[in-house]
Every structure is written in C-alpha cells, then in structure tokens.
Amino acid sequence: MPVSARAPEQPDGLRIEIAGLSVTGPVRSRNEDHLGWIAPGDRAWVPARQGDERIPPTELGGPLVAVVVADGLGGHADGDLASRFAIATLLDRLAAPEALRRVPDALRDAYLEVNARLLVGEAGQGPGGGPRPPGDGRPSAPERSRLPADGPRRPGAQTTMTALAVTSDTAWVAHVGDCRVYRLRDQILELVTTDHSQVTELLRMHLIRPDQAAAHPGRHLLTRSLGGDVALRVDVRSGELRVGDAYLLCSDGAWSNVSADEIIAALEGDLDEGTVQLVERSIARGGDDNASVIALRVLRTGEPASPDSTGGRRGLLRRVLGA
C-alpha cells in the first residue's frame, strides 16, 4: 500500500482526497482508458502494473483541483492516443493562470480544441501545434513506430472524456460520451451526467423500458464523442461544493457492472480500497472492456484565492497517467 501524499497545510484552503485505478482487463490487449489530475504541488503517481494506471491515495489543496477520465475509441493505438491527447489538452487549459477566473469556459474550450484537432488527426501534438514534450500525451517510442511516417496524424481517432473541477465552493462537470460522474451527499447517490448513447436516447423517447436498457445492443453506441463530429455539444454544469461530498468518475467498463450500493460503499469508506474493489468486481463479473475509476472526497472547502497566489502556470502540476 503506497503512503498517502499530502499537500502543504493551508489553514483556510480547499482540501481534497483522491484515489484512482484504471485496468486493461482480461479481454482487451491495450488500455485505451486514461486518468489525469491537476493540483498545486508535485505529487507522484504509481503504476499498478504494465498497461494499468493508479492514482495512489493523495490529499490535495489549492484554489483548483481537477480529475478526468477518458475512454478512447477506434481500437488499439488510435483510442489510446486520442484519450491521452484529450486529457493532456484539458489539463493544459486548466493550468493556465486565467483558468481559475473562467473554469466553465476553460473546460468547454479544451473540449472543443480536442474535438477539432482529432478531426484533422493532430492527436499527439501540443496545444500550440508543435510537438508535445515527453510525458504530456505524446506517443511512446513503440507507438510512434506504428504511426505514419509524416507524423502522429490519425484522423478518425475518437474518445470520450469526463472531467470534474472543484474550486473553493463550486464543483464543475464537463462531459462528452458515456463515462459517468456520481455524487454522494448525505448518503444519497446521484448520477450527475447523462450518457450520450443510443440507448439513453431511446429511453428519453420512451421507445424502450428501463429494464430493457442493460441488455440493449445500443447501450455502447455513442451519440457524441470527441473527434466524431464538427458540431460538438459539451455538457458543462455546476453545483455547490460541500464538505463531505464524494464523487466517482468512471468509464463504462466500470459502471456497467457494479451496483449503486457498491458505489456508495466505496465512497463512504477508504477511497483507495473502494476504487480497487469497484474495478475488481467489474472485471470479475464479465467485464469485457477497460475499467477505470477516480474517487474524490471533499475534506474542506475554502475562500476563493487569487490566481496569482498559485504561482501561475509553474505552480500547478499536470499529470496524465500512462503518458
């Protein structure tokens, strides 16, 4: 069990606890899910095993903390590259000094940028168009060997992405696809996001019943994805942040095989153990996809801080697990 990382004490600041795990699973040959987070300070991450990613139990503080899950589409290197590129671009946007003053705009802008660049095959390049430095979403040497000779351009690569950004008193969710965000407050579990899937649309139009949804062939067919359509609609919503709130971000490979009671138990107990149990149960119950979860608990809210007090871009850490 890794030792929890702790940010420097801030008497009146936001305090958040996070933990996460992403596994390839027994069926897929490659993990196309990726996890990411951003917060002040330098916190290391620990991979569980090759192809898997882990966020060890970590306490974070500062004016802004964000976590994100992306699930790549298209198979093998395409989906892997797209999901890592999406997370790297999002966290790059949130690392900008002005992001704290315009969190919803920063989130939406990042999604639209990722969508546009995936459509033209620019996954693997930095937000400015040039090469991204190693460790920030750039393909590894083995991946580069499978890319076209003229560079990492793969039109058609797509990904879903769901992000949660919290400030002193507000939680912001940005969402495209079928990863999910759950919130546990006062022992009540709420699904914050709406799946952008065919089966969700059929339910909305009352063409199928809820009991038919779990086994419907359209349950994994997406109606929205990053890189899938020029006209992308991004769900961005906000809510009050309270001490004791707990959130779970998860890919469809995780949430499709666990119950609401199991999610509640994971969020009420030790977050590290809870994420491991959710992923293991999902895989054990016949999950045929990658499975990924990030759990977050609010330990303390705080007063809004000046963006300048964070040291700007240099005072923020960007982490893309598996990059």
Specify if 94 maps to a domain: no
In this prediction, residue 222 carries a pLDDT of: 80
The answer to the question of residue 293 being in a domain is yes
Q: At what angle do helices 103-119 and 76-94 cross, to 10 degrees?
A: 150
pLDDT for the residue 201 = 60
Confidence label for 27 from pLDDT (cuts 50, 70 and 90): low
Give residue 88's pLDDT band: very low, low, confident or very high (50, 70, 90): very high
State both tokens at 258. Answer: 């666990």
Residue 241 has pLDDT above 70, yes or no: yes
Angle subtended at Cα 274 by Cα 272 and Cα 278, rounded to the nearest 5 degrees: 125
When pLDDT is averaged across residues 263-274 and rounded to a whole number, the result is 96
C-alpha span between 181 and 235 (Å, rounded) = 12
**In the predicted model, is pLDDT for residue 306 greater than 60?**
no
Percent of the chain with pLDDT over 90: 45
Per-residue b/e over 98-136, b at no fewer than 16 CB within 10 Å?
ebbeebbebbbbbbebbbebbbebbbbbbbeeeebeeeb
Confidence of residue 77 (pLDDT cuts 50, 70, 90): low
How far apart, in Å, are the Cα atoms of 291 and each of 3, 204, 223, 259?
A: 24, 26, 21, 15
Within a domain: 164: yes
Structural domain count, the chain: 1
On whether residue 128 sits in a domain, the answer given is no
Pick from 249, 199, 205: nearest CA to 223: 199
User: Which residues, listed in sequence order, are joined to residue 69 by a DSSP beta bridge?
Assistant: 35, 162
Quote the CA–CA distance of 77 and 160 in Å, as a whole number.
Answer: 15
Residue owning tokens 């759990």: 295
pLDDT of residue 137: 35
H-helix or E-strand spanning residue 172: strand 170-176
246 within some domain = yes
Q: Is the pLDDT of residue 9 over 70?
A: no
Residue 19: its pLDDT value, please?
96
* Bridge partners, residue 248, by sequence: 182, 295
Confidence of residue 239 (pLDDT cuts 50, 70, 90): very high
Largest Cα–Cα separation, the chain: 55
More confident residue, 287 or 194: 194
pLDDT at 205 over 70: no
Over range 169-174, report the average pLDDT.
Answer: 96
Q: In a 10 Å sphere around its CB, with 0-12 CB exposed, 13-18 middle and 19+ buried, how is residue 203 labelled?
A: middle
pLDDT at 279: 92
The answer as to whether 127 is a domain residue is no
What pLDDT, in 10s, does the model give residues 269-304? 999 999 999 999 988 887 667 889 999 999 999 865
pLDDT-wise least confident of 35-44, 172-181, 267-276 = 35-44
Tens of pLDDT, residue by residue over 122-143, are: 775 544 443 333 333 333 333 3
CATH number of the CATH domain containing 241: 3.60.40.10
Of 86, 91, 102, 33, residue with least CA distance to 67: 91
> Do 173 and 237 contact (CB within 8 A), yes or no?
yes
Residue 4: inside a domain: no
Beta bridge partners of 51: none
Q: How far is CA 310 from the centre of its chain?
A: 23
Query: Which secondary-structure segment (H or E) carries 79?
Result: helix 76-94
Q: What is the mean pLDDT of the chain?
A: 77
Sheet holding 158-166, edge to edge: 235-240, 170-176, 158-166, 65-73, 33-40, 316-320
In a domain, 112, yes or no: no
Mean of pLDDT values over 58-84: 85
Query: Could you identify the residue written with the tokens 């879903």?
Result: 160
> What is the C-alpha to C-alpha distance for residues 79 and 206, in angstroms, rounded to an integer?
32
Range of the domain at 21: 12-70+159-320
